[in-house]
Amino acid sequence: MHDFVVFCFLRPVKSYLSLLGLLPLSLWAQFSFGVASGDPQPESVVLWTALEAVTQPQTVVWELSNEPDFTRILTSGSTTTSQDLGGTVKVIAGGLEAGQTYYYRFWWDQHVSPVGRTRTAPHPHSTQAVRLGVVSCAHFEAGYFFAYGALASEENLDAVVHLGDYIYEYGRWEAPWKVVDRLHEPAHEIVTLTDYRTRYAQYRRDPNLQALHAAHPMIAIWDDHEIANNSYETGAQNHQPDEGSYAERRAAAMQAYREWMPIRPASEKGYRAVKFGAMVDLLMIETRLDGRTEAVSKEAERHRPADRHHMMGVEQADWLREQLTHSSATYRVLGNQVIFTELNLGILPSDRLDRYNLDAWDGYASERDALTAEFAQVAPVVILTGDSHCSWAFEGKGYVELCAPSVTSTNFNEFALEPVARLAGALLWASNRPLEYVDTRNHGYMLVDFEAREARSTWVYVRDIKSPGRWRVHHRRHRRILPWKSNMLRR
- 234-281 pLDDT, tens digit each: 999 999 999 999 999 999 999 999 999 999 988 889 999 999 999 999
Q: Are residues 68 and 146 in the same domain?
A: no
Q: Domain end: 96, 119, 142, which one?
A: 119
Q: Are residues 367 and 246 in the same domain?
A: yes
pLDDT digits (tens, 9 = 90+) for 436-475: 999 999 999 999 999 999 999 999 999 999 999 999 999 9
Cα separation, 132 vs 488, in Å, equals: 19
Asked if 27 and 13 count as a contact pair (C-beta separation under 8 A), the reply is no
Q: What is the pLDDT of residue 24?
A: 43
Q: How many structural domains is the chain composed of?
A: 2
Phi, psi of 214 (to 5 degrees): -75, -20
Q: Are residues 60 and 157 in the same domain?
A: no
Q: What is the pLDDT of residue 485?
A: 73
Cα separation, 21 vs 14, in Å, equals: 10
Could you tell me which of 118, 116, 90, 154 has the C-alpha nearest to residue 18?
116
Q: Are residues 54 and 151 in the same domain?
A: no
CATH number of domain containing 404: 3.60.21.70
Q: What is the pLDDT of residue 487?
A: 65
Give whole-number Cα distances, 117 to 168, 315, 349, in Å. Answer: 27, 35, 48
Cα separation, 329 vs 442, in Å, equals: 33
Q: Are residues 349 and 201 in the same domain?
A: yes
Decide if pLDDT at 40 tops 80: yes
Q: Are residues 174 and 84 in the same domain?
A: no
Does some domain include residue 248? yes
The pLDDT-based confidence of 350 (bands split at 50, 70, 90) is confident
Cα separation, 374 vs 66, in Å, equals: 42
Q: Are residues 338 and 404 in the same domain?
A: yes
- CA angle (131, 68, 9) in 5-degree steps: 145
Does some domain include residue 161? yes
DSSP state of 111: E
First to last CA, the chain: 62
Could you tell me which of 271, 288, 193, 185 has the C-alpha nearest to residue 236?
288
Q: Are residues 343 and 404 in the same domain?
A: yes
- For residue 137, what are the domain limits? 130-490
Higher pLDDT, 28 or 82: 82
* Report field, pTM of the whole predicted structure over 0.85: yes
Does some domain include residue 124? no
Q: Are residues 277 and 318 in the same domain?
A: yes
Q: What is the pLDDT of residue 354?
A: 80
Decide if pLDDT at 74 tops 70: yes
- Average pLDDT, integer, range 36-44: 98
Q: Are residues 108 and 153 in the same domain?
A: no
Q: Are residues 108 and 140 in the same domain?
A: no
Q: Are residues 15 and 90 in the same domain?
A: yes
